[in-house]
Structure 1
C-alpha cells in the first residue's frame, strides 16, 4: 500500500538533517553512530531520488545548495514540532494542567508571583514551571520569551516591554560619584553572557547615547540573577528592565544610576504552543488581563 506522504526514506532525511546541521559528514556520522561512508551513501541516495544535489562538495568541507537549504529548513521545523510533541507525550501526566517555560530570571523576578495569585483563585489546576536558561524546554503549553513575536509560528500574546536602565546600589553610586552616562564609562560594569542573541548589552546601551565603548573593569557572568546579586554586593553596574525589576527598585535594593534609559528593542511575550491545554489558555487570558493597558506593569493586582 503506498504511503500517504510523498517522502523519501525517513532515515535518509534524518541523516541529511544531521549532515546539514553540522555541515560535516564526519560529525553527522559521529552523532548517528555510523561511518562517514554510510552518511555519504544515504545522502547520495537522497540526491538521486530528488534528482538534484543537496550539497556542494568542497576540498575543505561541504556547503548546502539552494535545494539543500530549503529541505534543511523544512526538516528542522518538522523535527522541532515532532520533538515538542514527543516531549509532551513523555512528560504529560495531567492534560488539564499548565506547563509554562521561562528563564530563571523571568521566573524568579516576575512569573512566580502571578502563578501564586492564579493558583489562589484556581486551586484545582495543576501548574508546573519549566525553568531553563538555554536550549528548547521539553513540551510546555506556554513559554515566556524575550524577542520578536513575528518570528513565531504559534499564537503569541504581548506581555510587556518597558525601558532598559543602568542599575546599582546607592553605595556604588556614591563611591564612584556617578552623575551622568559618561561617568559609567569608567566604572566596573557587569556583563551577562547568555545564549539569547536579542539581549541588549552595554555597548548597545551606550551607543544609544553616542558614547564610546566603556573602558572600565569588566565583570562577566552567565546568569542574570547572579548578575543582580553581584550588583547588590556593589561589584558593578548592571543593565535591567524596569518592568522586570519593579520590586528591586521599589525597595532600593538597586537604584537607577543615571536618568537616561532606552526603550527595550523587543517585548516579553507569551508563546502558546500548539496543543496547549484549555487551562493553559485560561491562564494566558488571565495573565494578559492583569497587565495594565500600557503593558508596563510588573506586579500582580
Structure 2
C-alpha cells in the first residue's frame, strides 16, 4: 500500500482539535462540526496520544490550551487559511467567464458583438464577457483587448483585425438634400465632429487634407463618442466620417450612405492584443475574430 507523502495525523483529529482550540470548548466545537462532544474528546485524545503531548488543560467548566496546543493551533490555522484561499480562487474562477475581451463602445456595438453571436453558435461551451470602455487603453484586466493604433509600436502578441479606410457618410435624407461633388463641398456642410481623447483619431480636417484640401471645414455638432456621432448622422444632423470596418453594417442596412465616392486609408489599424496569461479558449476566440470566422 502506498504511503501518504504527508506525515500527518488524521485530518478529522486535526479539524476537531482546531475547532475545540478556537472555541476553547469541546461542546462548541461539537456543535460547529455537527458531532457529539464525546466524539471531539475522543479525537483530541487520539491526537494527544499520537503526538505524545498534552494539548489541553481540562477544567471543571471547560478547557484551555497548553503552550504546545497554542503552537499547533497557530500552525493549523495558517494551513487552513491557505487552503481556504486556494478553494475560494477556484470557486471564483468557476463563476467567471471563460474569456474576457475589452473594446470601445463603437467597436463593441458595431463590430464585435455581431461576430460574437456567430462564435457562440459554433462554440456554445465558451462563455465570453465584454469589458467596454471608451478609453482605448489598458486591457491588462482582460484576456483579449481590441485597440485602434499603430500595432508595430505595441509589444506582445498583437494581430491585425482591420486595415481600414475612411469615407464620408450621411443619412439618405441628408444626402438627398446636400449634393456633394468634391471635397471642397464639405466647407459648407454641417458636419458631425467626433472629439476623442486618444491621439490618431482622424478629424474632418485631417481627412480633407489627405485629399489635398487645405481650406476650412463646416461646423456642426461635436460629440466625444463615435456611436453617438453615427446616431446623430442617422438623425440628419450632419455628415460623419465612417470607418468602413465599423460602419459597413449601417451601409448595408441603408441607414447611412456615402456622400462622395472617395475614401482615405486609415492611418492606424484595429488590432487585437492577447494577454500572456490568456487561456486556450481566449486564443480560440482570437483566431475566430482574426480569421474567416469573423464574418458577421
TM-score w.r.t. the length of structure 1 is 0.64
User: Is the alpha carbon distance of 1:277 and 1:96 closer, same or farther for their aligned partners in structure 2, counting shifts above 3 Å?
Assistant: farther
Q: Are residues 96 and 230 of structure 1, via their aligned partners in 2, closer, same or farther at CA, if it must alter by over 3 Å?
A: closer
Q: Deviations over 1:56-94 (max 9, x none)?
A: xxxxxxxxxxxxxxxxxxxxxxxxxxxxxxxx99x8555
The aligned residue for residue 106 of structure 1 is 107
Q: Deviation digits for residues 90-135 of structure 1, max 9, x if unmatched?
A: x855577110000010000010111111111111112100000015
Pair 1:176 & 2:171 matched: no
- Which segments of structure 1 move beyond 3 Å, counting only runs of 4 or more? 91-96
Taking the TM superposition and a 5 Å limit, the aligned residue runs for 1:19-34 are none
Distance 1:113 1:125, change over 3 A: same
What is the RMSD of the two structures over their aligned residues, measured on CA atoms? 2.2
What residue in structure 1 maps to residue 199 of structure 2?
Answer: 197
The within-5 A match list for 1:131-280 is: 131-134=132-135, 135-137=137-139, 139-280=141-282
Higher Rg of the two aligned structures: 2
TM-score by length of 2: 0.65
For the 8 Å contact 1:96–1:277, the answer to whether it is kept is: no
Deviations 1:156-193 (A, max 9, x none): 11111121000001221222222221111111111111
Displacement after TM superposition at 1:195 (Å): 1.9
Distance 1:93 1:212, change over 3 A: farther
Find the aligned partners of 2:253 and 2:101 in 1 and give their Cα distance: 28
Structure 2, unpaired ranges of 5+: 1-88
Counterpart contact for 1:181–1:260, Cα < 8 Å: no
- Number of the residue aligned with 1:288: 290
Gaps of 5+ in 1: 1-87, 292-298
Change (3 A) 1:93 1:236: farther
> Hey, which of these two has a bigger chunk of helix by percent?
2
**Tell me, what secondary structure is at the counterpart of 2:263?**
strand
Instruction: Report how many aligned residue pairs link the two structures.
Output: 206
